[in-house]
Amino acid sequence: MTTDRLPEDRNWVATTGLSRRGVLVGGTFAAGFAAAVQPVAASTLKTDPKGLDERMVSISVQQGTMPAYRVKPAGSTRAPVILVVHEIFGVHEWIKDICRRFAQAGYYAIAPDLYARWGDATKEADIQKLIGNIVSKVPDAIVMDDLDRAAAFAAADGGDSSKLGITGFCWGGRITWLYAAYSPRVDAGVAWYGRLTGENKPPITTSQPVEVAARLKAPVLGLYGGKDKGIPVADVEAMQAALKTAKSPSKIILYPEADHGFLADYRPSYNEAAAKAAWGEAHGWFKANLK
């Protein structure tokens, strides 16, 4: 469902910083979105940056440096940290806005460009070239190390990484599950419609979420759409079974009428009802686990 209406629920506004005045489409705003996602849908939201400290930063990583967008409440010290893992489209305007939404709720949010050493995903308009030339070349092991370094940067930049969360979308949803199994420092994760099963292609992809369910070091909330053709309900059920077998505190919520990318208000896949409900679940999850 694509809509230009925003919910009036005060909790939605409080946790996102969004309002009807925050709806912007076209012009310079649309120019901040990845080339592969144009045109930007009429439902696109923009979070008010008032009261936020936002900037692009550079993080030292293997083989050079990695750019990242970071935002936190202005003047805040030791805010809980949330690593925001981008979709296949890279760190474009929507990912930055997600960071602002978390910062408006009191978090230090940082979105590292995990593709930077392989290319600029935001500039590639052809989705197949984007996948073939950039996405398919990014090793899981490097991503895990980059996220560690982003967390360390956040700690040195005033964030409280003793309260560390991670969230990701699509490509980043899968990474969220993997990082929660990899890092003993992470306290909670929220995975948005990330792939759960699939063929591994070492040394690039070495494991899938369903294979690491028993090794999760932090509880993960999975948010999935029942109409997602790329991640069928059977895969969601397989992950739920793996979590149950592992006696994991993690869980998955399935929104029957939602498709892949249902939170992405800049795309036709946006589902306002599912997005509102799932965003509330995500905030509740982090509030309960980042104490």
Going by C-alpha positions, the residue among 114, 101, 120 that lies closest to residue 147 is 114
Both tokens of residue 205?
Answer: 């992809």
What spatial distance separates the first Cα and last Cα of the chain, rounded to whole Å?
Answer: 35
CA–CA separation, 166 vs 114, rounded Å? 14
CA–CA separation, 238 vs 163, rounded Å? 30
Taken as a whole, the chain contains a residue count of 291
Catalytic residue among 92, 170, 187, 235: 170
Give 256-286 as a DSSP string: TT--TTTT-TTSTT--HHHHHHHHHHHHHHH
Q: Is 241 helix (H, G, I), strand (E, B) or coil?
A: helix
Catalytic residue among 187, 228, 235, 259: 228
Told to judge if 170 belongs to the known catalytic residues of this protein, a careful annotator would answer yes
CA–CA separation, 161 vs 42, rounded Å? 36
Catalytic residue among 140, 260, 265, 283: 260
DSSP letter assigned to residue 39: S
**Strands 220-225 vs 188-192: parallel, antiparallel or unpaired:** parallel
Residues annotated as catalytic are 170, 228, 260
